[in-house]
Amino acid sequence: MAFKPLHDRVLVKRVESDEKTKGGLIIPDSAKEKPAEGEVVSVGEGARKDSGELIAPSVKAGDRILFGKWSGTEVTVDGKEMLIMKESDILGIIA
C-alpha cells in the first residue's frame, strides 16, 4: 500500500538508536526512549495561504530530521511503525 500524506503532513520513519552507551553499557529495551530522529518517507504537496497560493514544503523524501518528543501520530504502514506529523513539528534537517 502506497501512502501519500495530504497538505503539510509528512510521513516519517524513526531511526533506531544505539543499543550501547559510549562507555560500552548495554541499554535494555525498557530503559530506551523513542528516538526523536527520523527519515522522511513522503511529503504532502504543502499548505495553502488564505489566497489559495501553495506553500512548498521545506523537507523532501530521504531527509534526516529531528522532531519533538511528543510529535506526530503513530501509524502502521505496510507493517512498519511510522509517524505522521505536520511539517511545523519538525525541528530541523540533519545535514
Angle at 15 between CA 40 and CA 36, to 5 degrees: 85
What pLDDT score does 4 carry?
A: 87
> Residue 19 above 70 pLDDT?
no
Q: Which are the contacts of 35, defined by CB distance < 8 A and separation ≥ 6? A: 14, 15, 16, 17
Confidence of residue 1 (pLDDT cuts 50, 70, 90): low
The model's pLDDT over 50-92, given as tens digits with 9 standing for 90+, comes to: 998 999 999 999 999 999 888 889 999 888 899 999 999 999 9
pLDDT band at 3 (very low <50, low <70, confident <90, very high): confident
